[in-house]
Copies of this chain bind each other. A is one copy, B any other.
Amino acid sequence: MDLTPKSENYVELVQKAFDTQGFMKYLGVEIAELRPGYCELHLPFKPELDQHHGYFHGGVIGSLADVSGGFAGFSLLPEGQAMLTVEYKLNIIAPGAGDFLKGTGRVVKAGRTLTVTEIDVFGVRDGVETQCATAIQTLMAVSA
């Protein structure tokens, strides 16, 4: 699969799109790594993000998964396009526990219209990663 970015400025374009999403700021998500077809996001724990046992809420895990995949796909777009989430499916395989959540999205199919990503989410405590979710996502490129 060809993962050549269609814009030289893909890093700035992703960061710019990311910065316009109020919800990412509200959660506290940061871009930790970005390569063509790959995006890693970090989200530090705070009590506002928890569920009844003090772990990261499932909705937070799902949100991080969705955005990790979305920007993995976005990184391959030409300037002037944006990515919409068509759908995703997420399995939660362990509690989201740790100092921060790490979401990794990678493109497995980059089509003209549709892009498919695979996503893993990990809880990280003292440098030890425990996978808490896995997902598959479908994205659609649209004119921005």
Contacts and interface: CB of A to CB of B under 8 A. Distances in A.
Interface residues of A, number: 50
Contact of A17 (B52, B85, B92, B93): B52
Task: Tell me whether chain A's interface is mostly helix, strand or loop, or mixed.
Answer: mixed
Contacts of A70: 58
Number of copies of this protein chain within its complex: 4
A49 interface: yes
A23 B60 CA distance: 8
Interface of A: 17, 20-27, 47-52, 57-60, 62-64, 66-67, 70, 82, 84-94, 108-109, 111, 113-114, 116, 118, 131, 134-136, 138, 140
16 contacts: A21-B51, A22-B48, A23-B57, A26-B49, A58-B70, A59-B66, A60-B63, A62-B66, A84-B92, A86-B114, A88-B89, A88-B90, A89-B90, A93-B111, A116-B134, A138-B138
